[in-house]
Structure 1
């Protein structure tokens, strides 16, 4: 554990140096955590091949155990550091944006499952959940890939390589999203899709790397240091959120087992397999789902007693962002080459399908559904979100709207609660491979998804024309 943690710190320090020495990486906005993960992965493979070291295998195993806990920390901070949103007059605009996100992400799931059913399954015999790797890696990113690794490895799904494949898909999506996003920015500028002139955007991007960074402190906003260290206080709230999540997981699992035993013991239905029993299904839901509600419970409890101001959202976000960076390093560095190489052909099919779908959504659907005055700016945020992370989307937005005056960022933020709890790493993403795919024929699932997507597209276009 100690050696792995020290090595992770060294890799991140090396990655920061590489990012500063190679300007192209800065232009492409590749984060240090991804660079560190790739360097760590290369080092592990070279050392294992050259020296056949068992220590490298142990190190990789140690790293592979980190994402489950780290993603629980990230989810614990989501609702802990986010106060309830107030009502807005822009509900219709937010609704159109939310509708677009549902179309993009459900489309990724549908096209992935379709490609799996028609091409990948007949050739490689993979589980149906293999098709969800597009949504997991592209729309979800590394965090969702780490979280879904537990889901894919469950007895209901039996895709043991899901974590490695999801992380690889997320890495490909992140790099592709930036590179192709810059291409779309240039297309949009030349075709007059943007509100900003190309010269202004270009100037902004050229000066971005040379402008001084505004320094800000964290952990100092809510209490004086003579009471308790302000940073430690936020760690305490996160720890309590984790503890509540652990208690919820244990309680829900125990309750499901008791109910199942009470109602099914000795009945004709008692021969349910372990895979489809209620306790098995509930037990397969990972810890991070419960820590999400744990963060909400801690914030609600502090608010009820008049101490909600003791939560410093900026500090909580910094802690969870740090956990995410470490998670990305561990996930990429511990990729299992043998497992991934065996599924690589199927993954290539999914990547090609994802590329076609995201391009269609940006170039054809976005101008027909999103607000006319900034459809391209908002479409770029969605494009970044659907190929890597929301941060990628805002990087692309800054290239065409450096002062964020288009209103696209506000629409995206207002619409986020309509989609983020459910898709792209939300409840539907997690529940579909566990609750639906093992029990419902894959063609039926695809047909329902396609019907829903067509309905959403028609609805979005009709609303936009009013």
Structure 2
């Protein structure tokens, strides 16, 4: 009898998480450097895939293991789990707590939004300058390569894969290989360098709630509660009516449904307006999770206005997000392809090194000026997103702020509502290559540079001077 690949995928995730947790409990080194079990599990899973175990088995003539331990069906399920998990996380972001005033939301999101926009538009500026000065003259590559840093690092593997038809229709099919390779490599390097950054900030005392290794109890190092301190589960409904977890999951699913409805409405609007008129389709490349966040805001507003009794519990929502985050981290790492670099190795290396260098400049120089309060936590989150995966940012934040006591997580969520529709897989990300092909690299470079300067000035001289998130009404 054929096994269900969905169940197989979850069994594999369970085995990997159990193995990762067991290794962490027994390794003082992993505890010292705040390495979570989900990251250990993901890396173990990656080693057992086709690009590591499979390649090694092929060299040894072991054809049965040439594809690693996972079938293609299971890997596809892993990719789907990643997408579903991040949607669950953002759908639950505002559920179970009062919706803040727009002014407060702007003040909280503003520093992150300014920083994200500055880094995002800066990735276009950097990429187009590299094309004009190095890549074009020396390697005779398409000017569309100037968009690859933002597409790959800010957008990630999903965005790169989703733009395959755009690459091909614009005569740059090799761009898909370069973009996928950049995404996969930056994910790995982002994880490694991000963990180094987290440990640096903790040792220097820049974090607010992450304890140094020597200050933590043995139970804290092993990631468990002392028996007398195990927190009680919150319940909002009686079991004979509906389990509390079910009730809270219903709210999450309704938020996702509202996000789907919004997404399909926008796709329809594009189809009947500029899409059919100019054959330019952009909205369909916007991912679901930022729209699920909007759906969560809508569900929370309806719940707060029309239901007079407690039904959605914030603590339960944090547990749902925690489960989704663990599953997302493992499945995302396991499904990384390490064989997508292609033949343009020098172009690939130049874009990768300069792209990561810009991101490092961002967290150590720009972030301190734009996000002075809780700089380390905010920077860890933003650095992860700008190196190919929002997952990485959430993982790094989990290491420095596991209980979400700083405003970083909520502020980042507010920011995504405005940021994602444009960059990181949004409207401009999808339109960037057609714009470069139509108008040339120089006009797009000028426009991106202007937006980078505007957002940079707003972040440094407005939010960085205490006019935003650090104000009492923020």
Matches of 2:132 and 2:297, distance apart in 1: 39
Task: Flag the 1:301–1:151 CA change in 2: closer, same or farther, 3 A.
Answer: farther
State the SS of the aligned residue for 2:236.
coil
Of 35-44 and 449-458, deviating more is 449-458
1:139 maps to none
Once the two structures are TM-superposed, the CA of residue 415 in structure 1 deviates from its matched residue by: 5.0
1:243 maps to 257
1:428 maps to 423
2:379 maps to 383
Preserved contact between residue 176 and residue 387 of structure 1 (Cα < 8 Å): no
Task: Flag the 1:42–1:174 CA change in 2: closer, same or farther, 3 A.
Answer: closer
1:8 to 7, 13, 23: 13
The answer to whether 1:24 aligns with 2:41 is no
Preserved contact between residue 290 and residue 416 of structure 2 (Cα < 8 Å): no
Q: Which runs of 5+ in 1 are unaligned?
A: 137-143, 265-269
Once the two structures are TM-superposed, the CA of residue 179 in structure 1 deviates from its matched residue by: 1.0
Matches of 2:264 and 2:308, distance apart in 1: 28
Matches of 2:106 and 2:148, distance apart in 1: 36
Once the two structures are TM-superposed, the CA of residue 184 in structure 1 deviates from its matched residue by: 5.7
2:388 maps to none
TM-score (ref. length: structure 2): 0.72
1:392 maps to 396
Preserved contact between residue 258 and residue 292 of structure 2 (Cα < 8 Å): yes
Q: Which runs of 5+ in 2 are unaligned?
A: 385-392, 467-474
The answer to whether 1:176 aligns with 2:188 is no
1:34 maps to 39
The size of the alignment, in residue pairs, is 423
The answer to whether 1:438 aligns with 2:434 is yes
Of 65-74 and 94-103, deviating more is 94-103
2:335 maps to 334
The answer to whether 1:148 aligns with 2:159 is yes
Once the two structures are TM-superposed, the CA of residue 169 in structure 1 deviates from its matched residue by: 1.8
Once the two structures are TM-superposed, the CA of residue 150 in structure 1 deviates from its matched residue by: 5.7
Of 379-388 and 251-260, deviating more is 251-260
Once the two structures are TM-superposed, the CA of residue 176 in structure 1 deviates from its matched residue by: 0.3
Q: How does 1:276-295 map to 2 (within 5 A)?
A: 276=280, 280-295=281-296
1:306 maps to 307
1:451 maps to 450
Task: Flag the 1:290–1:110 CA change in 2: closer, same or farther, 3 A.
Answer: same
Once the two structures are TM-superposed, the CA of residue 231 in structure 1 deviates from its matched residue by: 0.7
Matches of 1:284 and 1:364, distance apart in 2: 32
CA RMSD in angstroms comes to 4.2
Matches of 1:442 and 1:254, distance apart in 2: 31
Once the two structures are TM-superposed, the CA of residue 7 in structure 1 deviates from its matched residue by: 1.5
TM-score (ref. length: structure 1): 0.73
Matches of 1:415 and 1:286, distance apart in 2: 19
Task: Flag the 1:44–1:415 CA change in 2: closer, same or farther, 3 A.
Answer: closer
Matches of 2:456 and 2:224, distance apart in 1: 44
Matches of 1:255 and 1:240, distance apart in 2: 23
State the SS of the aligned residue for 2:239.
coil
Matches of 1:253 and 1:195, distance apart in 2: 42
Q: How does 1:86-165 map to 2 (within 5 A)?
A: 86=101, 99-100=114-115, 102-115=117-130, 118-119=133-134, 123=139, 125=142, 127-133=145-151, 135-136=153-154, 145=156, 148=159, 151-153=162-164, 155=166, 160=176, 162=179, 165=182
Matches of 2:261 and 2:195, distance apart in 1: 40
Task: Flag the 1:397–1:251 CA change in 2: closer, same or farther, 3 A.
Answer: closer
Once the two structures are TM-superposed, the CA of residue 380 in structure 1 deviates from its matched residue by: 2.0
State the SS of the aligned residue for 2:93.
helix
